[in-house]
Structure 1
Amino acid sequence: MSDQAAQARPKTVTACVLTIGDEILSGRTRDANLAYIATHLNRIGIQVREARVIPDVEEVIVATLNEVRARYDYVFTTGGIGPTHDDITADAVAKAFGVGIGYHPEALKILGEHYERTGAEFNTSRKRMARLPDGASMIDNPVSKAPGFQIGNVFVMAGVPMVMQVMMDSLTDRLEGGAQMQSRTVTGQIGEGTIAEKLGELQARHPDVGIGSYPYYVGKTFGTSIVMRGVDSSELDIVAGEVMALMREFGVEPVAGGAA
């Protein structure tokens, strides 16, 4: 690729999602956030390259966060910013960045007014949700008012899906997207084992395109859907054409799209 072509090509912007919480690892709570975050980010040209589920253990959160924030353009965390003793994400993030943590005046005001309206006591436990690492900026929470926060390239959000989603939606203007991931699908009534070797050769020729094979069964009919993902639509079209030609070599007429 020429220097001029490389400069014209949109840059790749990457992200990691950290799901924090013992309740996810125990199976008591099912994670409902990753798919929403990945879909939302993909729409604005940010590719989720890694997702991890980690426990409510400070040293694990600190070590993991420092590892992934150095590796990816953005890190998004969910969970562990509530009022209870095991909600330690904010403290762990502050430790990871080497900064202090304290009550954020605006967060205290928002939460105080919220509990005054609801008639609930704004006690010490609830005030914990107004503690932010020094230098962090708030992420608004119009649902339950307790804010998330951003520090550096790390965005800390609630674990409750409805709350996380409104926080995620509010971040769009803060995020700089890049090359948007696109996909093509070719389907044929052929076993994936039949074409596996040829697909491997095709993948080697096109390293910038991810090629996955997915078998399906519809009644007594079986086949394979080949899904190609990449940021270059022209190269995707070329690879899709080669997959279709490959299926025809085996006597199968391919169809563009998913399994019927």
Structure 2
Amino acid sequence: MTASEQSTPVATVTACLIIIGNEILSGRTQDANLAHIARTLNGWGVRLMHARVIPDIEDTIVSTLNECRAAFDYVFTTGGIGPTHDDITADCVAKAFGVPLVEHPEAIAILETYYPKGELTVARRRMARVPQGGDLVPNPVSKAPGFRIGNVFVLAGVPAIMRAQLHETREHISGGLPMVSRTVTAFVGESRVAVQLEELQDRYTDVEIGSYPFWKDGKLGTSLVFRGTDPARLEAGADELKAILRDLGTEPIDGEP
């Protein structure tokens, strides 16, 4: 098969991220997790296909979780597993799965080791609660674990902790081929290449082709990004695009301008 022929389709492994927290929606806190999760999962051969930001409302969390875990191979949540009354994610996950929320003995042992004797308060013990049947996701940073149940991974919202916990989930993730990208840039408005780009997309149905206009040094330009799992297909598409751009009288640039 030549590089210009369509590759045999590879099953796509999908994921969804549910960002939980009134503080995100109010603007008080800016999410810093989505991009890292997307990049990490892509490297594992899992495509983050969907993301939602939802409030700390039980019915919303439960319904969103049930909808997403049925639609995607993996679901990740961030936020709402701390020691305070408004951290209700664990309660909602248990309700979504129809199981009790219980203190996990291993989580209690971890927290007892971490906190000085007598300082494992009732509030802190909340961080040891896990839906029955769930397994812990270790937390190398501050010890209070996340957990996983079914295809759902429940992680902290604090970026440093979330990143450490996400790394700990790797052994439980079975991905496909990672997505790779190839960028061609030209100082031309995207409307001038729109028709040709649509025709190119029709020939490369196994490749995502995106058009992203920019303004630099007083000139309008467009970055054209090819994304897919077969580098040869991306290279072939990029070569065809370069020829198209030259026919339009503009010299293509490999990569970003």
TM-score by length of 2: 0.94
Partner of 1:36 in structure 2?
Answer: 36
Partner of 1:214 in structure 2?
Answer: 212
Partner of 2:46 in structure 1?
Answer: 46
Paired residue type of 1:43: G
Closer, same or farther: CA 120–166 of 1 in aligned 2, 3 Å? farther
**Larger deviation, residues 223-232 vs 205-214:** 205-214
Corresponding residue SS for 2:47: strand
Partner of 1:101 in structure 2?
Answer: 101
Determine the C-alpha separation between the residues in 2 that align with 1:245 and 1:66.
48
> Does structure 1 residue 241 correspond to structure 2 residue 239?
yes
> Does structure 1 residue 91 correspond to structure 2 residue 91?
yes
Q: How far apart are 1:124 and its partner, in Å? A: 1.0
Determine the C-alpha separation between the residues in 1 that align with 2:50 and 2:212.
21
Paired residue type of 1:11: A
Partner of 2:55 in structure 1?
Answer: 55
Q: Could you tell me which runs of 5 or more consecutive residues in structure 1 were left unpaired when the two chains were aligned.
A: none
Q: How far apart are 1:10 and its partner, in Å? A: 4.2
Paired residue type of 2:97: F
Determine the C-alpha separation between the residues in 2 that align with 1:244 and 1:90.
51
Determine the C-alpha separation between the residues in 1 that align with 2:43 and 2:178.
7
Identity %: 56
> Does structure 1 residue 251 correspond to structure 2 residue 252?
no
Determine the C-alpha separation between the residues in 1 that align with 2:109 and 2:82.
17
Question: RMSD value over aligned CA atoms?
Answer: 1.6
Corresponding residue SS for 2:238: helix
Corresponding residue SS for 2:102: strand
Determine the C-alpha separation between the residues in 2 that align with 1:236 and 1:67.
34
Determine the C-alpha separation between the residues in 2 that align with 1:173 and 1:235.
30
Q: Could you tell me which runs of 5 or more consecutive residues in structure 2 were left unpaired when the two chains were aligned.
A: 2-6
Paired residue type of 1:171: T
> Does structure 1 residue 145 correspond to structure 2 residue 147?
no
Give the count of matched residue pairs.
Answer: 252
**How is 1:91-240 mapped onto 2 (pairs within 5 angstroms)?**
91-116=91-116, 121-240=119-238
Corresponding residue SS for 1:187: strand
Determine the C-alpha separation between the residues in 2 that align with 1:236 and 1:120.
60
Partner of 1:72 in structure 2?
Answer: 72
Deviations 1:99-153 (A, max 9, x none): 111111110111122111xx67211111111000000000001211110000011
